[in-house]
Amino acid sequence: MFVYLDNSATTKPDDEVTRLVADVMGREFGNPSSLHRMGLCAEKLVKEAREAVAASIGARPEEIYFTSGGTESDNTAIFGAASARRHQGNKIITTAIEHPAVAEAFSELSRRGWQTVLLGVDRQGRLDLEQLKRELDEQAVFVSIMHVNNELGTVQPLAEAAQLIAQANQGRNANILFHTDAVQSWGKEEIDVRKLPVDLLSLSGHKIHGPKGIGALYVRKGCNLPPFFFGGGQERGFRSGTENVPAIAGLGLAARLSKQRMLENRRRMYEVRRQLAEGILHAVEGAVINSPQGEEASPAILNVSFPGCRGEVLLHMLEQKDIYVSTGSACSSHKKGNRVLSAAGLSPEEIEGALRFSFSGDTTAEQIDYVLNEVKAAVDSMRRLAGLAGRGKK
């Protein structure tokens, strides 16, 4: 049986999306900036996709800018906000468990002289709102807090954070800008920027069964950022470069489909997530669920530690059974340690033995039964071998 449980790294493109991308690439290959019919057809596809992405988060079409993916969207928001507010203050704030696209951008700004604050988190990755409140002083100009953590699945209290930022903005000449990386929440959590007062929001296509290499950045109307790319003036002068029309069309379709299917997919993911968590705790002695439960948990992610085992070895043992999981963020897979789990206070043994299971609406109960059997067998085998090796050393 084939079981793919690494959907936080990337999702399988929807068949409808794949067909549309191929069709647009083969037939509607005109440049959207061209004035002839083929150009106008391509421009129409881009317009329709922009409307679909906007509708999926409650935004206006003119507030959506297409990018090459989540990393570009995050970088554009962070460096753009820093540039726009550089004369107002010198403090920028984020959490200790952000995706590398945010964390590394903040590190670069720190090297350039910005005062960077990393908000602490609790054992399950929830940010410290009291620390955020204390840090929102006159020097603070920008805050970036991810919506759903990509390793623990923690849903951050964005509404509460936005309220604190709004209070801090009262009486200021220039508002503190608020950005969220919604790459892991788009299509899985309800997002409505008319209710959630964020200024900037990052999206990525390949996390919602769309194409890789395409994403979007929401920029609230009136939030003026400098362009990140210069050239032909595409994306209303904000992001120059000939539009990737096939991928943009695929992104629009993926946004529509994910919006239509979200409630049903959430129900299915909650069911298999609960099945896997309860099954592991029952079958595997000493296993620790690192992800939060209840409303603070994404239905798409479950992080579990298997003390006495190495997560990377378990990953490859499961791979031999055609089960695909991860030990953490794919963007950090070649780096030693785990910054997110360390910030959450997990022990070295818990970090070493951690696996991330991430689901989609296509994950079935039968697949989870198979995974449970193979996880137990792999953990038992590794612990048995470790015990034999330990006795051999005495």
Question: And the tokens for 326?
Answer: 């991860």
Contact 300, 7 (CB under 8 A): yes
What is the C-alpha to C-alpha distance for residues 136 and 145, in angstroms, rounded to an integer? 14
Instruction: Kindly give, in sequence order, each residue whose CB lies less than 8 Å from that of residue 18, ignoring residues fewer than 6 positions away.
Output: 250
Catalytic residue among 41, 223, 309, 331: 331
Residue whose structure tokens are 């996390």? 207
Question: And the tokens for 103?
Answer: 């964390």
Known active-site residue 309: no
Instruction: Kindly give, in sequence order, each residue whose CB lies less than 8 Å from that of residue 79, ignoring residues fewer than 6 positions away.
Output: 105, 109, 228
Residue 121, strand partner residues: 127
What is the C-alpha to C-alpha distance for residues 120 and 192, in angstroms, rounded to an integer? 26
What is the C-alpha to C-alpha distance for residues 116 and 109, in angstroms, rounded to an integer? 8
Selection from 51, 46, 24 nearest residue 33 by Cα: 46
What is the C-alpha to C-alpha distance for residues 95 and 248, in angstroms, rounded to an integer? 31
Alpha helices in the chain (DSSP H): 15-27, 37-57, 70-84, 100-111, 129-135, 158-169, 245-283, 311-319, 339-343, 348-352, 365-393
The residues annotated with a catalytic role in the active site are 331
